[in-house]
Structure 1
Amino acid sequence: MEPDLVDFLIPVSGFSGPLFTILVLALVLDAIFGDFPWLFSRISHPVVWIGNLIAWFEARLNRPGRSHADLIVRGIVTSLAVIAAAGCFGGVVQLVSTLGDVFRGFEILLVAVLIAQKGLYQHVKAVSTALRKDGLAGGRKAVSMIVGRDPDKLDEAGVSRAAIESCAENFSDGVVAPLFWYVVAGPIGICVYKAINTLDSMIGHRNERYLYFGRFAARLDDVVNFIPARIAGGVICLAAVLGAKTSGKAAWQTLLRDAGKHKSPNAGWQEAAFAGALDLALAGPRQYGDEIVDDPYIGSGRRDVTASDIDRALSLYTGACLINAAWPVVIKLLWVGL
C-alpha cells in the first residue's frame, strides 16, 4: 500500500502519530468507565444532543397529509442538517486536538464516549442477572431497556434470544462501526456515523409515520454499516475459534448460509455468527407493539435459550471486542514497516 493512500485512509497524522495512542486510551477509558454515568448524570450525552436535534426537525417537517415525495425530501433535509451539525462538532474537536498533546484529551473522551463496549456488556448482563434473580418479570423489564419488541409477550427463551440478538447487532453498531469510521475519518467520521445511526434508530422505521420521512436515513445507515457489519461477522467467527465453548466452524457456516435471511442487509452477519457459534436459533417471529414480524430463524440450534446462554454470548462478545481492538495494532505494525 502506498503511503499517500494510507494517509488518505488514516487522516489524523497516521498510525505512526497520535491516532493510535488516542484509540488505545479511549478504549481503556471505555473499559473502565463504560457509559460514564457520573458525567452524563450532569450533562447530556452527545447522542442525546443528536436525538434532540432530530426530534426538533421531525416535529416541524414530518407533517401528515404531505405527499410521499415531499416527505422524502423533508427527511433528506433533516438527515443532512443533523449530519452536518455532528460533522461540525467533530471538526471542532479535531481542530482543538491539533493544538497540542494536552488538548487531545477532548478527542480521547469523544471516542471513549461514542464507542459503547462496556455499556453494551452491562445492559445485556443485566438481563441474565434479572432472569436469575427476579425471574421472568425481571428479565422482561431488563430486556425492555435494549430492544423495541413488546417484552410482555416474551417467555424466558424470548427474553434471552432478544438479549443475545441485541448484543450481536449492537456489536457492529456500537463497537465496530464507530471505531472503523474513526480510523477512516477521525472525529468527524465517528460523529457523522453516530448521527446517521441515531437518525436510523429514531426515524428509520417502516411504519406509517416514518416510512417516507425516514427512508433516506434508513438507506444511509445501511450504507455506512455495510463494511463494519461484515468486519463484525468475521471478528465474531474468529472469536468463536478462540473461545472455549464456541464453534468457529459453525459460526462461519451459519454466517454464509443465514446472514441473508435477515431483513436488514447488515444485521444478519452478526446474528448468524452468534447463532452458529453458540448453536442457537435466533430471530424468528417477533412482536413490536401490535405488529407481528414473521421472520425466519437464523441458525439451526436450540430455541429454548436461557440466561446461561446470554452469559455464553457475553463471553463471545468480550473475545470479539478484544480482537476488534487489536486490528488497529496490526495496522500500526504494517504502517511502521512501510
Structure 2
Amino acid sequence: MGPLFTVLVLALVLDALCGDFPWLFRRMPHPVVWVGNLIGWFERRLNKPRYGNRDLLMRGLLTSVAVIGCAAGFGGLVQLISSFGGIFVIADILLLAVLIAQKGLYQHVRAVSVALKRDGLSGGRIAVSMIVGRDPNTLDTAGVSRAAIESCAENFSDGVVAPLFWYVLGGPIGLCAYKAINTLDSMIGHRSARYLYFGRFAARLDDVVNFVPARIAGAVICLAAVIGRKSSGERAWTVMLRDGVKHKSPNAGWQEAAFAGALGLSLAGPRCYGAELVDDPYIGDGRRDANASDIDRALTLYTTSCILNAAWPIVLKVLWIGLI
C-alpha cells in the first residue's frame, strides 16, 4: 500500500484521538484561521460598493486565485518536506489530521443532543447556534434537532470526504487548495448584496470541487445505513436519488437526502436566516418532529460513514494496482 496507506491510517487515527487539537490551537491560529485572515485582508481592500458588478467579479476572482495560490504553496512546502521520507512523512500526517474534521464535527453535533437532554430547548438553541447560520430563536425542539442532523450530513462531505478525496488526488497541495476554496465559499460565497458578485467565482468553484466528493459522501452514507441497525439503506438510496436535487446547493442535497431516508425523517424545509425566510422544500418524506434521540441515531450513522470513508481510498489503490 505504501506511504499513502500509512499517512491515511495514521492521520485518521490522530484525528480520532485529538479532534480539533484544542490544546495546540489555543496557543496558535489554526491554518484555516490564517486562510480566513488572508481572505479578509483582500476583501476589505477590493470589495467596495462603488465598483461595478463586472469589476467586483474580477476582484473576487483575483482574491480567490491569490488565496488558493498561497494555500497551495504551503501545501507544496509540506509535500517537499515529506518527500525526504522517513520521519519527515509526519508533516503529511499532521496536515491531514488537522484539516480533516471527523471528531470535531461529531463533538459539535453531539453537544446539541446533550444540551437538549440536559438543558431543554434553550440549551439546544445555544448549542446549535455554534454550527448553523439560521436564527436559533425561531427553532423548536424539532427544528434544533433537524438543524443539527443537517449540519452533520452536509459537513460530512465538506469536512471529511472532500479533504480526503483531494488529498488522495493531489497530496498536500490538493488538500490545502481545497480547504482554501471551501473557506472562500464560507466567507464570501453568499448571495447577499455585498458578496453577490465579489464572491460568485468562489461559490461556483466550491460547487465544482465538491461535485464528486458530495456524491461519494451520499453513497457512503447509504452503505452505512445498510450496515446500521437503526437505519434503512433502501430508503436512504431511494430518497437520495429522488430528493437530492431539491436542495438549493448542487451538492449538499445528496448527503441530506441520504440521512433523511436512512433515519426516516424530513429535513430542510422553510428556515429563517436573520430576518430572511428561506422557503426551501422538504427533503425526505418521514417525520418532521425530530428530537435528541434522532441526533444520536444520526451520529451513529455518521460514525459508520466515517469508517467506510476511510476505506474507499484503499480500495481505489488496490484496483489501480490491479489495473497496472
TM-score range, shorter-chain basis? over 0.9
RMSD: 0.8
SS at match of 2:277: strand
Residues 1:192 and 2:177 aligned together:
yes
Q: How does 1:323-338 map to 2 (within 5 A)?
A: 323-337=308-322, 338=324
Which amino acid is 2:75 matched to?
A: G
Identity %: 75
1:313 match: 298
1:336 Cα deviation after fit: 4.4
Say if 2:147 is the partner of 1:162: yes
Q: 1:31 aligns with which of 5, 8, 16?
A: 16
Q: Distance in 2 between matches of 1:67 and 1:331?
A: 47
The AA in structure 1 aligned to 2:305 is A
1:335 deviates by 4.1
Show the counterpart of 1:255.
240
Shift of 1:334: 2.8
Alignment of 1:227-238 (within 5 A): 227-238=212-223
What is the identity, as a one-letter code, of the residue corresponding to 2:155?
N
| CA–CA separation in structure 2 for the residues paired with 1:100 and 1:20 | 14
The answer for the alignment partner of 1:176 in structure 2 is: 161
Partner in structure 2 of residue 285 of structure 1: 270
Deviates more, 1:217-226 or 1:102-111: 102-111
Match of 1:86 in 2: 71
What is the aligned partner in structure 2 of residue 100 from structure 1? Answer: 85
Instruction: Report deviation, 1:183.
Output: 0.2
Q: Which residue of 2 aligns with 1:7?
A: none
Deviation at 1:19, TM superposition (A): 1.5
Q: Which runs of 5+ in 1 are unaligned?
A: 1-15
Equivalence for 1:8: none
Displacement after TM superposition at 1:328 (Å) = 1.9
CA distance in 2, matches of 1:140, 1:134: 10
Distance of 2:315 and 2:160 partners within structure 1: 18
Q: Partner residue of 1:130?
A: 115
Give a deviation string over 1:49-97, Cα, whole Å, max 9, x none. Answer: 0000000000000001210001100000000000000000000000010
TM-score of the superposition, structure 2-length normalised?
Answer: 0.98
CA deviations 1:107-145 (Å, max 9, x no partner) are 100000011000000000000000000111110000010
Counterpart for residue 59 of structure 1: 44
- Quote the offset at 1:277 in angstroms: 0.3
Distance 1:336 1:73 in 2: 43
TM-score, normalising length: structure 1? 0.94
Q: What pairs up with 1:103-118 in 2 under 5 angstroms?
A: 103-118=88-103
Structure 2 counterpart of 1:17: 2
Other-structure match for 2:192: 207
2:33 paired residue among 26, 43, 48: 48
> What do the CA deviations read for 1:208-265 (whole angstroms, capped 9, x no partner)?
1101100000000000000000000000000000100100000000011101100000
Kindly report structure 1 stretches of 4+ aligned residues shifted beyond 4 Å. none
How many angstroms apart in 2 are the aligned matches of 1:233 and 1:334? 21
2:271 aligned with 1:271: no
Q: CA deviation at 1:17?
A: 2.7
Give aligned pairs, total. 323
Could you tell me which amino acid in structure 2 is paired with residue 273 of structure 1?
A
> Who is 1:13 aligned against?
none
Q: Distance in 1 between matches of 2:26 and 2:41?
A: 22
> Residue 251 of structure 1 aligns to a residue in which SS?
helix
**Which consecutive unaligned segments of at least 5 residues does structure 2 have?**
none
Deviation by residue 1:34-62 (Cα, 9 ceiling, x = unmatched): 00001111111000000000000000000
